[in-house]
Amino acid sequence: MPEAPLSSAPLFEGLSAADVAAILAAAHRRRYGRADFVCHQGDPVDAVYMVAGGRVRLTQLEVDGQEVVIRFIGPGDIFGAVAAFKVTQFPVSGEVVEASEVLAWDRATMVSLIERHPRLGQNLMAILSGRIQEMRERIGDLQTQRVERRIARALLRLAQQAGQRTATGILINLPLSRQDLAEMTGTTLYTVSRVLSQWEADGIVKPGRERVEILRPHALVTIAEDLPSP
């Protein structure tokens, strides 16, 4: 998948190349390897971050020790904004699943950048708004839809953001265990395994070790939406 340049990230929409360059120049950069943590839940935070390359899995730990996958983020995605503008601790942990580079603007820098480039603030609000919308959908799914459909939707979303065309279908191009999928959809790794096995029998997906390839995306859409199977 050809990486889009960072300047086309949603955060920079509507800004001139010169402005983007200036904003990028104000960031600190840091590299991380696989399995590193870019942040730990509970750590103090006073900055906004952007993933410049690679992929990070954001998870939330419940008080009883259960883990919830909030989302996977990749190039151009930001994180830490929630913490920077409201709470002062990271509400999530970020584990690198694919070697990454991360940009950081500390809070004061970001505030002054926004004053200089109002569009940056609007973009940030649009990003936060979009995230709220996604979460509303996820809450709706969790409250009203069955597990099978939730898994189908999660796979389609992952295909959207990390899908790679192959000869036989679309490969979700990140290490994705049954446990990960379970923590994204509010079920157990056992149920995920059973559902994927069934779909494999139906020729819809080809599951592997920490790997899922979608063979018949349309069949998955049929399961994900409220359609009669045509």
Q: Where along the sequence are the contacts to its own copies (CB under 8 A)?
A: 60, 62-64, 66, 68, 70, 81-87, 91-92, 111, 114-115, 118, 121-122, 124-126, 128-133, 135-136, 138-140, 142-145, 183, 185-186, 225-226
SS3 91: coil
Residue 68 touches which member of its own copies, DNA, none, C-beta under 5-8 Å by kind: its own copies
Q: How far is the CB of 132 from DNA (least distance, A)?
A: 25
Residue corresponding to tokens 């708004």: 129
Q: Which helix (H) or strand (E) holds 161?
A: helix 147-162
Beta carbons of 171 and 84 less than 8 angstroms apart: no
Nearest CB to DNA, comparing residues 121 and 186: 186
Output the DSSP codes for 1-53: -PPPPGGGSGGGTT--HHHHHHHHHTSEEEEE-TT-EEE-TT-B--EEEEEEE
Closest by CA position to 149, among listed 75, 223, 74: 223
Q: How far is the CB of 153 from DNA (least distance, A)?
A: 13
The C-alpha R_g of the chain, in whole angstroms, comes to 19
Residue 131 touches which member of its own copies, DNA, none, C-beta under 5-8 Å by kind: its own copies
Nearest CB to DNA, comparing residues 164 and 197: 197
Residues that bind DNA (CB under 7 A): 146-148, 177-179, 186-194, 196-197, 207-210
Task: Specify the long-range contacts of residues 207-210, CB closer than 8 Å, at least 24 apart.
Answer: 210/175, 210/176, 210/177
The pair of three-digit structure tokens given for residue 59, joined into one six-digit string: 């998870």
Beta carbons of 41 and 109 less than 8 angstroms apart: no
Nearest CB to its own copies, comparing residues 55 and 71: 71
Q: Within the chain, what is the greatest distance between any pair of CA atoms?
A: 57
Residue 189 touches which member of its own copies, DNA, none, C-beta under 5-8 Å by kind: DNA
Q: How far is the CB of 168 from its own copies (least distance, A)?
A: 30
Residue 147 touches which member of its own copies, DNA, none, C-beta under 5-8 Å by kind: DNA
Q: How far is the CB of 187 from its own copies (least distance, A)?
A: 8
Q: Could you give the angle at the alpha carbon of 189 between the alpha carbons of 226 and 164, nearest 5°?
A: 65
Residue 1 touches which member of its own copies, DNA, none, C-beta under 5-8 Å by kind: none
Nearest CB to DNA, comparing residues 7 and 191: 191
Nearest CB to its own copies, comparing residues 1 and 68: 68
Nearest CB to its own copies, comparing residues 57 and 173: 57
